[in-house]
A and B are shown apart, each in its own frame.
Chain A
Amino acid sequence: MTDALAAASGADTARAPTVDKPEMLSWDSRARRVVVLYLPLAVFVFVLLFPFYWMAITAFKPNAELYDYKTYNPFWIHSPTLDHIRKLLFETAYPRWLLTTMTVAVCATVLSLFASVLAAYAVQRLRFRGSAYVGLAIYLAYLVPPSILFIPLATMVYRLGLFDSPLALILTYPTFLIPFCTWLLIGYFKSIPYELEECALIDGATRLQILRRITLPLAVPGLISAGIFSFTLSWNEFIYALAFIQSSENKTVPVSILTELVSGDVYQWGALMAGSLLGSLPVAIFYSFFVDYYVSSLTGAVKE
């Protein structure tokens, strides 16, 4: 494998010395390029996408085709049906779950963005003694995974009387959103020239005016990145929602599909896949509009 990747990186650099050689060699390097570059890439894309294809195709297959591979080719739908989706939307509380998930994700995102903007501004712009340590502490908070926090949080949520309420999720999700957003925004604020703020200070603007009129408008791409990231992370969150929510109507989509749709020994794969597909769709659509922000925030957060 390592040979292949070394060859892959060599493939286009190898062309440089062969530029004025006969076309045989360039053809050779093209064939080589197909083998070491396009073929593995195609396999990667196929493997990474196949589960989604399979999810989608299952969601639209009638049950007769779903459980009969002998007479129907499983890779294709012979008579597509909306049965599973109809059942999901009208016979379960799915729309309600979607609404809850959406509300929780939006509220948690807004709350985290508000807290993170202020914190990042304080750490990056209002330089004070120890600001680097505050930044480091916030970064370290990201390394505390929800898996070790959910049990004590469950007891806290219970004592605060928030058990089984979406508010519990809105308040706990920022624990993993704020560190990430703050980190991202610190990087963004750093890229905004400090001189702009100095000019405003000289012109008599207050700190809050500077934040609102100068820093924030310039940091809009960073805010969008942080916002969509938080939204996706809250939409995906599972363990808190599983531990803190009990009643069916307050569940989020990932939890409800697993706990409400999986019933008994016979799994309704059609409905399950339809639920997964519909649950993935909002983030996927969201994602498709903001791909570049995703990539830049993902890589930016790691690189900083």
Chain B
Amino acid sequence: MSVTAAPSWSRARQEPGWLARVFDSKPFLIVACLFPAVGLLMVFLTYPLGLGIWLAFTDTRIGRSGQWVGLENFEYLMGDPTFWTAVFYSVFYTAVATVGKFALGLWLALLLNNHLPFKSLIRAIILLPWIVPTVLSAIAFWWIYDPQFSIISYVFVDVLGLRDRYFDFLGSAWPARFSLIAANIWRGIPFVAICLLAGLQTISPSLYEAALLDGATPWQRFTRITVPLLMPILAIVMTFSIIFTFTDFQLVYAITRGGPVNSTHLMATLAFQRGIAGQELAEGAAIAVAMIPFLVFATLFSYFALARRKWQQGESND
């Protein structure tokens, strides 16, 4: 009796077709769901990364596939002062801009963490520099840094009378370098400030109250409560900021294109100039590959900062 009942029961369960069952099987679903993302990333991210490293060891030019030449490109770059200038400026640019962004961004975040009228409006306005395409705001900076019609020069010379000559922002090496750094800081402040503000808002006010009762000074409250509790988020934001500042391309390309006399080339812009504009793909790839050690360093920094926290997909957290 039960022998005859069982098949009819299981036949009713087989009602969804084989296609539906395949779509409901977990292994298939996992593969199918991961396929678009992983496939795209493999083809357009992992493969080019390897290809780029390979290209750096060949003599490929545009329109000609290259031969393996070993370390020749790197040897050439070692003896190239322009390359070393770019390395130096990349590090300098990243260091100064990051310090500037974080000092000013943290200050702005602390200001915004107070009770303010129109707080959400202010927050929205402040993010604007980060939303607007970098190249377009860079063009605005280019115009602000114009040698003849700079508005900053106008204010200093004609309104305030502090100087008698207009600034030459982009005409010589060091002023141009600092002008670019200023533009980068301007663009980076909102991101840092809004992220750190989010971090600040997670700090419980009761900690400050407790510290206040114990007689802590504002400075002590800042260094002993705010900074340590902000550290995890600060580390992540800083890693992102360092990576994207170090590999910055748009600002420099838009404002100076590496000039005057190659003094403001970052490694990315130099790679573009040699690799795409100058058609020496292999040399450009070698410059790009030379950025990787710096990026790995920054990423490890992030990993160890993250490792102290509960990992996002950890099994233990729900």
Report A's interface with B, CB cutoff 8 A: 1-14, 16, 37, 40-41, 44-45, 47-49, 51-52, 54-55, 58, 66-67, 69, 74, 111, 114-116, 118-119, 121-124, 126, 128, 131-132, 134-136, 138, 140-141, 143-156, 171-172, 174-175, 178-179, 182, 186-187, 190, 194, 206-208, 232, 235-236, 238-239, 242-243, 253-255, 257-258, 269, 272-273, 275-276, 279-280, 283-284, 287-288, 291-292, 294-295, 298-299, 302-304
Q: Is B33 an interface position by the 8 A CB rule?
A: yes
Report B's interface with A, CB cutoff 8 A: 16, 20, 23-24, 26, 29-30, 32-38, 40-41, 44-45, 47-49, 51-52, 55, 60, 103-104, 106-108, 110-116, 120, 122-129, 131-137, 139-141, 143-144, 146, 148-149, 151, 154, 158, 186, 189-191, 194-195, 197-199, 202, 208, 212, 217-219, 221-222, 226, 233, 236-237, 239-240, 243-244, 247-250, 253-254, 267-268, 271-272, 275-276, 281, 284-285, 288-289, 291-292, 295, 298-299, 302, 311-315, 318
The answer to whether A116 and B37 have CB atoms under 8 Å apart is: yes
Q: Which of A3, A6, A236 contacts B134 (CB 8 A)?
A: A236
- Complex formed: what's the CA distance from A44 to B12 in Å? 69
The answer to whether B110 and A9 have CB atoms under 8 Å apart is: yes
Residue of A nearest to B103 (CB): A1
Beyond A151-B275, A155-B55, A206-B24, whether A273 also contacts B289 by CB under 8 A is no
Q: Which residues of the other chain, B, contact A147 by a CB distance below 8 angstroms?
A: 247-249, 267-268, 271, 288, 291
Q: Which of B132, B218, B281 contacts A52 (CB 8 A)?
A: B132
Q: Which residues of the other chain, B, contact A151 by a CB distance below 8 angstroms?
A: 52, 55, 271, 275-276, 281, 284-285, 288
Residue of A nearest to B275 (CB): A151
The answer to whether A280 and B285 have CB atoms under 8 Å apart is: no
Kindly list 6 other residue pairs between chains A and B, CB separation below 8 angstroms, not including A258-B254, A280-B132. A118-B35, A143-B240, A146-B249, A151-B281, A155-B281, A254-B135
- Complex formed: what's the CA distance from A10 to B113 in Å? 11
Beyond A37-B114, A40-B111, A238-B250, whether A152 also contacts B131 by CB under 8 A is no
Beyond A232-B131, A302-B233, whether A132 also contacts B285 by CB under 8 A is no
The answer to whether A51 and B140 have CB atoms under 8 Å apart is: yes
- Complex formed: what's the CA distance from A69 to B30 in Å? 65
Q: Can you spell out 8 A-B residue pairs with CB atoms less than 8 angstroms apart?
A: A9-B113, A11-B114, A74-B151, A140-B299, A150-B272, A207-B23, A238-B134, A295-B127
Q: Which residues of the other chain, B, contact A123 by a CB distance below 8 angstroms?
A: 34, 313
- Complex formed: what's the CA distance from A58 to B143 in Å? 9
Tell me the total A-B contact number using a CB cutoff of 8 A.
337
Q: Which residues of the other chain, A, contact B318 by a CB distance below 8 angstroms?
A: 190, 194
Beyond A51-B186, A298-B195, whether A114 also contacts B143 by CB under 8 A is no
Q: Which residues of the other chain, B, contact A119 by a CB distance below 8 angstroms?
A: 33-34, 36-38
Closest 5 CB pairs between A and B? Answer: A299-B198, A10-B218, A122-B33, A119-B37, A115-B36
Beyond A41-B111, A118-B37, whether A238 also contacts B249 by CB under 8 A is yes
Residue of B nearest to A117 (CB): B33
Q: Which residues of the other chain, A, contact B16 by a CB distance below 8 angstroms?
A: 206
- Complex formed: what's the CA distance from A96 to B161 in Å? 46
The answer to whether A118 and B33 have CB atoms under 8 Å apart is: yes
Q: Which residues of the other chain, B, contact A11 by a CB distance below 8 angstroms?
A: 114
Residue of A nearest to B269 (CB): A147
The answer to whether A143 and B243 have CB atoms under 8 Å apart is: yes
The answer to whether A13 and B281 have CB atoms under 8 Å apart is: no
Beyond A119-B38, A126-B29, A238-B134, whether A291 also contacts B140 by CB under 8 A is no
Q: Which residues of the other chain, B, contact A131 by a CB distance below 8 angstroms?
A: 313
Q: Which residues of the other chain, A, contact B247 by a CB distance below 8 angstroms?
A: 145-148
Residue of A nearest to B34 (CB): A122
- Complex formed: what's the CA distance from A32 to B120 in Å? 23
CB A159 to nearest CB in B, in angstroms, measures 9
Q: Which of A14, A44, A186, A243 contacts B276 (CB 8 A)?
A: A243
Q: Which residues of the other chain, A, contact B40 by a CB distance below 8 angstroms?
A: 111, 115, 171, 174-175, 178
Q: Which residues of the other chain, A, contact B140 by a CB distance below 8 angstroms?
A: 51-52, 54-55, 273, 276
CB A127 to nearest CB in B, in angstroms, measures 8
